[in-house]
Amino acid sequence: CRFKEGKVNATVLCVECKIALCGNCSEAHNDAKVTESHTLLPLSQQHGCLSREHYCRVHRGETVKYYCETCNSPICLPCTFLDHKGHEIEEIKN
């Protein structure tokens, strides 16, 4: 996938896997038996459900409120200045 090389932008976020996927990878994600029931949300949408229901994998108890474009990952507030300092970060709008 060219997404890994940074040549394709992520278009969706898999809620269950908490990973961003490009168009081609999201189609493969939907087609795979193990992930066909996963919820894929367009990154252009406002993701109120993410900030209320999903927690950071690194900082337990912290809700995901941001998306790191550099790492293609949903992140929490502590992540923005600890693990992702200097990265391109966008707030997930409610």
In the chain, where are the structural domains located?
1-49, 51-93
Q: Which residue has the higher pLDDT, 74 or 8?
A: 74
Nearest of 29, 28, 26, 21 to residue 73 by alpha carbon = 21
- Confidence class for position 81, pLDDT limits 50, 70, 90: very high
Percent of the chain at pLDDT > 90 equals 20
The DSSP symbol for 3 reads G
Q: Which residue has the higher pLDDT, 46 or 69?
A: 69
pLDDT digits (tens, 9 = 90+) for 10-51: 788 887 887 888 888 899 999 999 988 887 877 764 444 443
| 51-93 CATH choice from 3.30.160.60, 3.40.190.10, 3.40.50.2020, 3.90.1580.10 | 3.30.160.60
Instruction: Say if CB 64 and CB 15 are below 8 A apart.
Output: no
10 backbone dihedrals φ, ψ, rounded to 5°: -65, 140
Query: What is this structure's pTM?
Result: 0.46
pLDDT of res. 87: 94
Cα–Cα distance for residue pair 25/3, rounded to 1 Å: 9
Cα–Cα distance for residue pair 73/29, rounded to 1 Å: 16
For residue 48, what is the enclosing H or E element? helix 48-53
- Confidence class for position 78, pLDDT limits 50, 70, 90: very high
Instruction: Say if CB 67 and CB 84 are below 8 A apart.
Output: no
In a 3-state reduction of DSSP, which class is residue 72? coil
| 1-49 CATH choice from 3.30.160, 1.10.3470, 3.40.50, 3.10.590 | 3.30.160
